[in-house]
Structure 1
């Protein structure tokens, strides 16, 4: 009986280690923008497209709208990531401090409130018009992924939307997990 209990504990530990190793492997496979320049990347962005395996996203995607994100470098080397969006017909703002990694264009964020760790990769950007981000989230033994299209303006060329959809699909997202967010002025024009 005790041997069977030890077997289950061993299998659970092995599964946890395998999940962690898979998360680390998948992070190493995600390319970042070559010669990434953070000074060009910071500033105001608007979320235009999202693809996600997060359970909340799949439940709420029909209600989501474009949001405004402002990235500001801090003195301590972190980047302040402030997103303003509409939730329940009210404006909400969430702020995270992104820590740089040794790889330029790769940031990490730990949420003490939710007990999760996020790896954010700037996969592609021309700095002046658009950027494609890929995010992995680990919470306990669960891993979720998200792809995002950001634009410097609220109006985005159709080619960039198509590029985002191809990008998301190339990372395993399916049609039902991809959404182009409706444009809005609510909350995001306010300072």
Structure 2
């Protein structure tokens, strides 16, 4: 009897392990930070202000599931300690939803970590890195998080206006692919007006 229960327990354990492996997404590995450019001589005062999210690319995005994402904005407000309060505003269920985060500067200008990380259950590490910007038209920002021991990364294409030029779109696609992503992982926002002028 005891041997039978032990055998049944081992079989169930094997089934649970197989299910857990099947439910874990097969993600493209996050690139090491040394492969991600960092904006030279980053100017934090010039970077602050309102940005529109024109495009997203990442190892957890795909066109089938996320292809209908609507444009939203993120406003970076510079604090005296050179951290940013970042407020994202998006249309959600007929209302304007606001999401506030704080990003703390690191030793590298243009790279930040998420403040109060303990508030975000399951996140062990979160990095924001400004890869490229001209401050007046566009920015490409790399985000990397470790969530429940799994690495996720994304690149956000910001614009100071809601206009996405063909050149900017092509540069974003090229950058995303240089980090191992495919067309399947690159999506562009649907323009809307709701909540954009808050």
The bucket for the TM-score relative to the shorter chain is 0.7 to 0.9
State the 1:69 CA deviation: 0.7
Give unpaired runs (5+ residues) of structure 2: 1-28
Residue of structure 2 in register with 1:144 after alignment: 152
RMSD of Structure 2 on Structure 1 (CA): 1.9
From the CA coordinates, give the structure whose radius of gyration is larger. Answer: 2
**Cα-to-partner distance string for 1:29-54 (whole Å, 9 max, x where unaligned):** 32200111111111110000100123
Residue of structure 1 in register with 2:74 after alignment: 69
Correspondences of 1:125-144 after superposition (within 5 Å):
125-144=133-152
Change (3 A) 1:179 1:71: same
Task: State how many pairs are aligned.
Answer: 166
User: Structure 2 residue aligned with 1:45, among 45, 48, 51?
Assistant: 51
State the 1:128 CA deviation: 0.6
Residue of structure 1 in register with 2:109 after alignment: 104
The TM-score, its normalising length taken from structure 2, stands at: 0.78
State the 1:90 CA deviation: 2.9
**Cα-to-partner distance string for 1:82-109 (whole Å, 9 max, x where unaligned):** 0001223432110000000010000111
Correspondences of 1:70-85 after superposition (within 5 Å):
70-85=75-90
Does the CA-based 8 Å contact 2:90-2:96 persist in structure 1?
yes
Distance 2:152 2:94 in 1: 27
TM superposition outliers: structure 1 runs of 4+ over 3 Å: 57-60
